[in-house]
Amino acid sequence: MTEPARAIRVLLADDETMIRHGVRLILRHADGIEVVAEAPDGRQAVESAAAHRPDVVLLDIRMPVCDGLAAIAPLLALDPAPRVVMLTTFGDDDNVVRALRAGAAGFLLKDEGPQELISAVRAAAAGDAVLSPGVTGAVISRMLRAGGAQDADGGRADERIARLTGREREVLAMLGEGLSNQDIAARLGIGIGTVKTHVGAILDKTGSTSRVQAALLAHRTGLAS
């Protein structure tokens, strides 16, 4: 008999009790997701993550004692490292950019709906970037302005795009939209495994170290807008 899949373990860190309560209630009713710990600040989030080994940490940016930005590095230094998704409010683009550069897997607006929250947790656990559509455009624009014309490997963006096949360009454009592997698979009518293969090839051929970097490349070259 096939063993049931292990539930995605989530740690929730937010200094607002009502936010934690609301998120916990939403995730409690989601299949395959378990909230294993909560924390009111970044320092306790790191301590709880070390003790409970979550797969995903939902991390508020603005918290007392130790804010979410300061907690990213010690969370990612854990073994195994959790996927860190920032909880943010509209207009906090500068801090979101800092979080992404520090290694966060993405960001989610606090006023997103229950299904968006559940999908974000599942996407992060699956290795996808979590890019809340409500602020993705503004965040990408800020990162592009800060990044300059050259890419991380010193090559021009259009030269890196030239290495991709036509289907890989299609997938890259969808990464720029913030779509998950599941969403891309549904739009293209292909399997999730095939999407993962394309994403791996895109990261390898373009020298991108993450889906967020690939999304930036898509916007820089006009594949996504």
Query: What are the pLDDT digits (tens) for 15-33?
Result: 999 999 999 999 998 999 9
Strands (E) in 152-225, as ranges, are none
Query: What are the pLDDT digits (tens) for 38-52?
Result: 999 999 999 999 999
Say if residues 43 and 66 touch (Cβ distance below 8 Å): yes
Least confident of 24-38, 48-62, 95-109: 95-109
Domain 8-140 class, CATH top level: alpha beta
Angle, to 10 degrees, between the axis of helix 211-220 and the axis of helix 166-176? 100
Give the pLDDT of residue 133: 66
Size (the chain), residues: 225
Q: Which CATH number fits domain 150-220: 2.40.50.100, 3.40.50.300, 3.40.50.2000, 1.10.10.10?
A: 1.10.10.10
Say if residues 11 and 38 touch (Cβ distance below 8 Å): yes
* Distances, alpha carbon 202 to alpha carbons 36, 55, 81, in Å: 34, 25, 24
Terminal Cα distance for the chain, rounded: 47
Query: What are the pLDDT digits (tens) for 107-139?
Result: 888 888 898 899 899 989 988 778 776 666 677
Say if residues 59 and 103 touch (Cβ distance below 8 Å): no
Say if residues 131 and 213 touch (Cβ distance below 8 Å): no
Write down the domain spans for the chain. 8-140, 150-220
Residue 188 has pLDDT above 90, yes or no: yes
pTM of the model: 0.76
CA 139 to chain centre: 13
